[in-house]
A and B are shown apart, each in its own frame.
Chain A
């Protein structure tokens, strides 16, 4: 099965600074790479995803970069704001028979200090 590791497990940044979270995975067949944000007491929400045919995707202040050779992908948040404080999960997946089996990392708790 897929082994997924996230680093760091906790991250504190000053408001306005950038934050980077890295996710490494073991299954070279993985071809879908999403990031989820979970605020305290709320459901996980998909914030950005990338597929294996592209190396980088950006959506306003967030971006995801993928290095398939090294089997890792990263979440980048620029100009952090207090509302970015949450736990972030990566969940690499292989699409087999049309369905995406996500394997979640253990999460990174991001704290943005005003």
Chain B
């Protein structure tokens, strides 16, 4: 079946602009995660959603970052007033709650100029 998809694949924006990144998880996966990966670095957890529970926002680096998940499926990560240090690849992953294994999307490469 279809894997996790993300859009856009690449986004170049000017400092100070807002951006929205989209994630479509694997159908039936109730858990959805957002991570950030800077060049040559590991994965930094941002936020996760599980079913109808309140999201865990503990990894969000500032209040400029927010995320929503509508209808328990598609999620949007919004970064307001982008800064150059926000430049990174933003990865989304989904999983079956019962299994644990997370399956990643291809990521969105964000470049803030």
The answer to whether A and B interact is yes
Q: How far is the CA of A105 from the CA of B56 in the complex (A)?
A: 20
- Categorize the interface residue count of chain B: 20 to 34
Kindly identify, within residues 77 to 112 of chain B, every residue whose CB is under 8 Å from any CB belonging to chain A.
91, 95, 97-98, 100-107
**When chains A and B are docked, how far (Å) is the Cα of A102 from the Cα of B99?**
13
Residues from chain A with Cβ under 8 Å of B103 in the complex: 46
Binding site for A on B (CB under 8 A): 31, 33, 35, 41-43, 45, 48, 50, 53, 56, 91, 95, 97-98, 100-107
Task: Tell me the dominant secondary structure on chain A's binding face.
Answer: strand
Assess the A101–B48 pair: CB atoms within 8 A.
yes
Q: Tell me the total A-B contact number using a CB cutoff of 8 A.
A: 54
State how many residues of chain A have any CB contact under 8 Å with chain B. Answer: 24
Sampled A-B contacts (8; CB under 8 Å):
A32-B100, A34-B102, A43-B104, A46-B102, A98-B97, A101-B56, A103-B45, A104-B45
Residues of A within 8 A of B101 (CB): 34, 46, 49
How distant is the Cα of A103 from the Cα of B58 in the complex, in angstroms?
13
A43-B104, A51-B100, A99-B31 are known; give 4 further A-B pairs, CB within 8 A.
A43-B106, A98-B98, A100-B31, A102-B45
